[in-house]
Amino acid sequence: MKVLSWNVNGIRAAARKGFRDWLDQCEASYVGLQEVRALPEQIPKNLQSPEGWHTHVVAGERKGYSGVGFYSRIKPDHVETSMGSEEFDREGRFHLATFGNLKIANVYFPNGNGKNRDNSRVPYKLAFYERLFAMLADDFNAGRPLLVVGDYNTAHQAIDLARPNQNRETSGFLLEERQEMSRWLSAGWVDTFRHYHPDEPDHYTWWRQWGGARESNVGWRIDYILASPGAMPYVQDGFILKDDMGSDHCPIGIEVDEAILHG
C-alpha cells in the first residue's frame, strides 16, 4: 500500500501539467495534496470525482490560497476538517481521515514569512505546529497508527537544504522552527524518509522556480511523512519522487503494509 503526498502549488495549474495522468499512474492507495488553491467547484471536472477515487477538499477563506485535498482508493470512515480554532481553520490547512485503524492527517503547515518576507508569521506557524501536536496526542499515546503527511515548510537539519549557511535567518530554517521539528521527533514521531536514508545528502522536495535551481538541485527538503510509533511497524520504505514534475515541489511517499488498516 503506497501513501503519497504532494504540494501541487495549485491543482488547476497541476492539471494543465498532466496531474490526472500522474494520478492514474501513481499506483497509490492515498494521495494527500497541499496548496490546492481552489474551491471544490473550481477543480477541473475530470479531477472532482475521478473513477476509482474517493476525494475530499478543504479550501481556505481567501480565494486562490492554501487548501488541502486527498484522493483515496479506500473509502474513509470519517474525515475531520477543523482544528478547533478559527485562526487556523480559515486557512484550510488540515484534514484528518480515518481508514479503519489508521488515521492520516494531511497538512499544509504555514510559512513563517509575512507579507514583507519579514518572518512575522513565525509565531502563527509555531502555534499551528503545537496545536496539531496536541490534537494527535491522545491517539499517539494510545499507540494508534498515525501518519502526518504534508508540506511542513521547515528543513529540519543542514543536510535538508543545499545552502544552510545562507538561510539561517530565513523562515524554513530558523532555529525555533527546527527546534519544533526536533520536539516532534524527540517525542517519538519518525521522519520516514530519514529512517531509510539517514545520512544521504542532496535529497530535496522543493526548489525555487528561477535560476535553474531544480536543474542544479539547489533545494530544500520541507515535505515529510511523519509516522507514529504505532505506525512504524507497518512502514516498509520512504522515498522522494524527484523526477515527477508539475509543481515546484515533488511528491514524496512511503510503502506501508495493508495490515496497518486492521492492526
The Cα–Cα gap between 150 and 33 comes to: 7
The Cα–Cα gap between 135 and 55 comes to: 23
Instruction: Sketch the domain layout of the chain as residue ranges.
Output: 2-261
Sole residue written with cell 482508493: 73
- Which of 203, 198, 200, 236 has its CA nearest to residue 217? 203
The dihedral built from the CA positions of residue 10, 12, 13 and 17, taken in this order, carries a sign that is positive
**Class at the top of the CATH hierarchy for domain 2-261:** alpha beta
User: What is the predicted pLDDT for the residue at 118?
Assistant: 87
pLDDT, mean over the chain: 97
The Cα–Cα gap between 24 and 32 comes to: 14
The Cα–Cα gap between 128 and 148 comes to: 14
Residue numbers annotated as active site: 151
Reported confidence tier of residue 204, pLDDT bands at 50, 70, 90: very high
User: What is the predicted pLDDT for the residue at 117?
Assistant: 76
- pLDDT, tens digit (0-9, with 9 covering 90-100), for 36-90: 999 999 999 999 999 999 999 999 999 899 999 999 999 999 999 999 999 999 9
Cβ neighbours of residue 204 closer than 8 Å, sequence gap 6 or more: 160, 161, 162, 217, 219, 220, 221, 240, 242
